[in-house]
Amino acid sequence: MILLLFGPPGCGKGTQAVFLAGRFHIPAISTGEMFRAECQAGTELGKQASSIMAQGGLVGDEIVNAIVASRISKADCAGGFLLDGYPRTVPQAIEFSALLQQKGLPNPVVIHLDVADDLLVARLTARRQCPQCKRIYNLLSQPPKLAGKCDDDGAALMAREDDQEAVIRQRLRAYHELTGPILEWYGPSAVRTVDGGKAPDQVTRAIQQAVEAAQRTSAE
Ligand SMILES: [Zn+2]
């Protein structure tokens, strides 16, 4: 079982990745973790990637692909794996497909968590943080007991710079520009779109059903 998970920032993708990993007994691998592990291990790839990142550059497709190839060759991926944040470009998707074919692995199940931009903006602009203890609140889903004050220390809650509407809209645009072509490349027969705007446990159920439906299709 090879799962690819796509979803906009703020859609709860990380939580769903953890759930899927547990449900299907596969590791959930994010590109961030993969890079950190490779850098810590001090491999040649890790050294190349960390020197590029240290200069503030974007690590190129070739290195990213090589790190993914190395990661999915590890023993814990023998029964499958979930990738979160990869492929990030169409060339990466093409290379990843070639890699799977080379290894005799099945096509990935592509899960697309679809959430309307306006809903994400409403959710994210409702976030508040305590400047003292850094606890995060959400005026819609997890409000403080007293309006505007941290439950733990009474400090005045603040909206973070990252949670301003303009910043969020910009991140969403970047996400759509990157991800749209990748989903198109995989095509409607491979991509399972799940409504990610519902409550987290409903989203979880919908994802599970989508994965199981994809498994049945590929078994036929
Ligand atoms: Zn606090």
What is the pTM (predicted TM-score) of this model?
Answer: 0.87
Residue-wise burial string across 16-26, b where 16 or more C-beta atoms lie within 10 A, e elsewhere: bbebbbeebeb
The rounded mean pLDDT for the chain is 92
For this structure, is 160 an active site residue?
A: yes
The single residue of 47, 74, 103, 160 carrying the catalytic annotation is 160
Q: What does the pLDDT read at residue 69? A: 95
CA of 133 to the centre of ligand 1 (A): 4
CA of 139 to the centre of ligand 1 (A): 15
**Cβ–Cβ contacts within 10 Å for residue 103, how many?**
10
Mean pLDDT score, 46-52: 87
The single residue of 36, 149, 169, 171 carrying the catalytic annotation is 171
Q: What does the pLDDT read at residue 53? A: 81
Mapped onto helix, strand or coil, the DSSP state of residue 81 is strand
* Residue range 148-190, pLDDT digits in tens: 999 999 999 999 988 899 999 999 999 999 999 999 999 998 9
* Residue range 15-37, pLDDT digits in tens: 899 999 999 999 999 988 888 88
pLDDT-based confidence at residue 39 (cuts at 50, 70, 90): confident
- Cβ neighbours of residue 87 under 8 Å, at least 6 residues apart? 4, 93, 95, 96, 182
For this structure, is 127 an active site residue?
A: yes
Strands of the sheet with 109-114, listed across from one edge: 28-30, 81-84, 2-6, 109-114, 191-195
Q: What does the pLDDT read at residue 54? A: 82
Rounded to whole angstroms, how far apart are CA atoms 124 and 126?
5
CA of 5 to the centre of ligand 1 (A): 33
For this structure, is 171 an active site residue?
A: yes
The CA distances from residue 36 to 28, 40, 65, 67, in Å, are 15, 6, 15, 11
